[in-house]
Amino acid sequence: MTAPQFVHAAVVHVDTTANASPITTDAYAVSGTGHTLIVVIDHERAHASSPLAITGITRGVQSFTRVNKGDLGSAATVDVADMWVLENAATGSAPLVVSHNGVTGSDIQIAVVEYDGGTPGAVSTPAYVPGSSAAVARFGITVPADARLVYLQVVTAAAGTWTGPSHGTSRLTATVGTGTGGGALAVADYAPASAETLTNVGYAFTPASGSWSNGSNHVVGLILEAAATDAGITPAAGALTHTAGTPLLDTGDLTPTVSRPPGGGDIDVAATVITDPLSAAPTIALFGDPESNNTVSGVKWEGFFAAVDLKQAGRTPTFTLDFSNWRQNTPPANNRLYWRYGSDIGDMTAWQPFESRSVSGSVLTVSNSAAFAEAVIQIANIPPVPYDELEDWLTTWAASGTMFRPQACADLGVAPAAPNAYAYYDFPDLVSPDGIEVGGTFAFAFGITNPAATGAKARLFHTWTHAGEWGGLRAMLRFAERLMSIEDTVHDALRDRFEHIFLLTNTAGMVGGMARGVVESGDIGDDPNRVWGSHPTDRDDVSDPILSIEASIALLVTEWGVNDAGLLNCAGQLAWHSHTSATAKFGAYKGGLSSAESAFMGHTETLYGTSLHDHGSSSAGSSTHFARVGTAGGFGVTFEWSYAWADFLSEIGASVDTIGPALVETLDAGWLGAALSPAAAAHAVHSGAAALVPRLAPAGAVLAHHGGAALLSLAGQIAAASGRHGHHAAASLLTAAGVVTGADASLPHRATRPVLSTGFIPPAASGAVLRVRPDTRVLSVGAA
């Protein structure tokens, strides 16, 4: 291969007065299919603070732009020489049309320099010396083999002499205007026999007076390579790197902008600090937006989510995120920020972590080695699930034969098809304090089971409710996706032997602020997880209940009903959350576990291969507490995935995928026997205000009718293996006389104790047994 060869060079436009946009040059001929380098220079001192900016070139295809904006300062008393170098391939003879930002009255020259081919490579760092110096601006760069360096020198004094290039051959010299108020340009090129590192490259010019009384001179170099290369060229002397075929920086204001995405995100836009905003590699300092929380000490931000416009592709920014006002005060161990292109907005799978990370104090720094191929990107600490993307998710997965529509969604009747077919609560129209509109959104729910499977099914509901803590929602959706798509023994059992309800009360954009906010009903930033209470029908223990959670409980009651003790007819709940822990990755609230929960946790830890981090016990107002005291099974576990993963979306898989097998093992061991839903269940009628509440019981069972306004107590729901249900019209607790007996089983009771015993009967015991939780709640009655 040989270096690209020079064809010709010419000045095609000179004007010292008007130059209104667009500028039409003289026609010029391009002899081949090579590259024409176009130079547009403004010598007008009057426009030092608002120089000419090219906005468009018409002829051929512009593939890159390089701008050197004048004296690198802002003093209006210093002459400015602005240089644009553009590649523009074309054939035939025609003028060039140059559009600009409207600056007129400048001394403008436009020149073209043609070569017979080549690929644009590196561009040098533009060099400058001020008018008070007699020196010539020079630069250094490495020229690879089979390449040619083309360099352009510009001075703001027309009177003087070009004395020759430092390297290679002169191709063009020209002047515009007169004396020190005018300007001159020169073009030279150099093709070394082999790769060579050059220093002090420049085209010498001697002013007529021997020195510049005012004005300045500039130089910039461009490498034309013989052929395209796959990797970028790194020039010497601090020059900018340029990858073949990718654009260089445009003219105009290239300062990146940061904004809050539609619907919210914990970002303090006003606090953003951008260093080197016009360079190819700016540094963008980001800050979270903490919010006060009545139930969480101090301030907290969780769901960091920002949109960044880099103004042009091909830039390699560095981002920092300061955690000093975060709840943990320091970045989570190993965690990187995530990014995706603007063209991928809507694709929840497009997020990927930044390649490089480092931590200094409270500041996390991230970057990629490769330049961004698009100008607009989004950044998040844990990739969120925006409301519209959840809508798309529901639409996609609704085609699964195992997803079903809960009855409460049908009752609300927003739409017959996904996504709104799965809406069960309509959020009120609100506007957050920072102007984010909240409303026109719904809380969604969906169920998963195998409709063709007959026999008893253990009922579980799944919740994710903490605003801004998207990690739990991501984990829950992964579980649901695999539940609907994987065919193996475990997942078949999870569909055939379980009935799942998934509740989604908060997504990105559903409530304003995106952090866990206050708990008063209707406030922006609601955190519904903290107001579930302890009873599905009597909510007197909850002050100012959040309406979306009221609707969630109503959905479960409608779907499964309550038993005669007022407990929701289901085994219990799994809560999917994410946590601010800076080091613990996968954990659970392990305090206060029952025997069933302990058995389940043991299976999970065995499958995961280690003991899970213990976050303590669940709070009294949480959904987990509600599941433990408000469901027939009394089973409630909250899992937490922290921000400490190096690649959250990939690494949570191993932890999420332990939960399904652990559920099946726990069911096989007999611990999830409460509130089964067989196909042959009888329905009882409650003759109170809420009539015709469906209450499913073991197959073949007969439920007695309770005619009073009050629900039956726990004592009134214990049945023996015969499937008969004893009726205790006024019982609150069993007494010594109130023993229920049945075939091959009896329920002993000591009057001084509220329960049978504080232990539990192993599932393997023979005959009909009563399984009792250590904290006094009955799990199930049935054959061993």
Q: Quick one: how far is CA 170 from the chain centroid? A: 53
Q: What integer is the mean pLDDT of 758-776?
A: 34
Quick one: average pLDDT of 498-521? 69
Domain stop point among 349, 380, 411: 380
Do residues 269 and 257 make contact, with C-beta atoms less than 8 angstroms apart?
A: no
Any idea what the Cα angle at residue 663 is, between residues 661 and 664, rounded to 5°?
65
How many angstroms separate the Cα of 479 from the Cα of each of 232, 254, 475, 582, 641?
A: 42, 43, 6, 24, 13
What pLDDT shows up at residue 5? 87
Instruction: Please state, in angstroms and as integers, the Cα–Cα distance from residue 227 to each residue in 71, 90, 147, 195, following that order.
Output: 34, 19, 9, 15
Full DSSP string of 408-447: HHHHH-S-SSTTGGGEEEEPPPEE-TTS-EE-S-EEEEEE
Residues 178 and 60 reside in one and the same domain: yes
Kindly report the pTM of this predicted structure: 0.61
Q: Which amino acid is at 481?
A: E
Amino acid making up residue 429: D
- pLDDT-based confidence at 379, cuts 50/70/90? very high
Note whether 570 and 594 are same-domain residues.
Answer: yes
Q: What is the dihedral of CA 606, 608, 609, 611, to 10 degrees?
A: -80
pLDDT value of position 469: 81
Do residue 404 and residue 359 come from a single domain?
A: no
Does residue 702 sit within a domain?
no
Q: Look over the chain and give the mean of its residue pLDDT values, rounded to a whole number.
A: 74
Q: What is the rounded distance in angstroms from the CA atom of residue 286 to the CA atom of residue 331?
A: 13
What was the pLDDT predicted at 75? Answer: 39
φ/ψ of 652, rounded to 5, equals -70, -15
Q: Which residue, 616, 615, 608, 614, is CA-closest to 651?
A: 608
> Residue 534 falls within a domain, yes or no?
yes
Question: Could you tell me the CATH number of the domain that includes residue 338?
Answer: 2.60.40.3120
Mean pLDDT check: name the lowest of 156-160, 529-533, 652-656, 686-690: 686-690
- The three-class DSSP label of residue 682 is coil
DSSP one-letter string for 95-140: --EEEESS--S--EEEEEEEES--EEEEEPPPEEEETT------EE
Domain assignment present for 208? yes
pLDDT range class, residue 234, cuts 50, 70, 90:
very low
Residue predicted with more confidence, 603 or 382 = 603
Q: How many domains does the chain have?
A: 4
Which tokens is 204 given? 């010498």
Evaluate the omega torsion of the peptide bond into residue 419 and state whether it is cis, within 30 degrees of 0.
yes
The answer on pLDDT for 136 being more than 90 is: no
Q: Alpha-carbon distance 260 to 215, whole Å?
A: 44
Which SS3 state, helix, strand or coil, does residue 495 take? helix
Please tell me whether residues 44 and 169 are part of one structural domain: yes
Alpha-carbon 767 to chain mean position: 54
C-alpha angle with apex 52: 46 to 56, nearest 5 degrees?
165
Q: Are 683 and 551 in contact (CB under 8 A)?
A: no
Q: Work out the angle at residue 46's Cα, subtended by the Cα atoms of residues 40 and 50, and round it to the nearest 5 degrees.
A: 65
Do 364 and 397 lie in one domain? The reply is no
Q: Which helix (H) or strand (E) holds 458?
A: strand 458-464
Mark whether 408 and 546 lie in a shared domain: yes
Radius of gyration of the chain, Cα coordinates, nearest whole angstrom: 36
Q: Are residues 472 and 398 in the same domain?
A: yes
Q: Are residues 78 and 221 in the same domain?
A: yes
Residue 330 corresponds to which tokens in the numbers above? 């320091």
Residue 184 belongs to some domain of the structure:
yes
Domain-located, residue 696: no
Distance CA 580, CA 328 (A): 7
Residue 29 CA to residue 24 CA, distance in Å, equals: 15
Based on the fold, state whether residues 367 and 392 are members of the same structural domain. no
- Confidence at residue 458, expressed as pLDDT on a 0 to 100 scale: 96
Task: For residues 572-580, give the mean pLDDT.
Answer: 91
Q: Is 697 a domain residue? A: no
Q: How confident is the model at residue 211 (pLDDT cuts 50, 70, 90)?
A: low
Residue 581 and residue 509 share a domain:
yes
Shared-domain flag, residues 402 and 369: no
Residue 689 lies in a domain: no
Give whole-number Cα distances, 27 to 95, 175, 185, 324, 553, in Å: 4, 20, 20, 61, 77
List pLDDT tens digits, range 50-63.
Answer: 666 666 777 765 55
Of the candidates 753, 747, 751, the residue with the CA atom closest to the CA atom of residue 768: 747
Q: Which range of residues forms the domain containing residue 438?
A: 387-668
572-579 and 635-642 beta bridge pairing? parallel
Question: How far apart, in whole angstroms, are the C-alpha atoms of residue 512 and residue 204?
Answer: 62
Whether residue 583 is contained in a domain is answered as: yes
State which of 322, 345, 380 marks the end of a domain: 380
pLDDT band at 314 (very low <50, low <70, confident <90, very high): confident
Q: Do both 490 and 416 map to the same domain?
A: yes
Q: How confident is the model at residue 721 (pLDDT cuts 50, 70, 90)?
A: very low
| Residue 525: CATH number of its domain | 3.40.630.10
Last residue of a domain, one of 644, 668, 692: 668
119 compared with 214, residue with greater pLDDT: 119
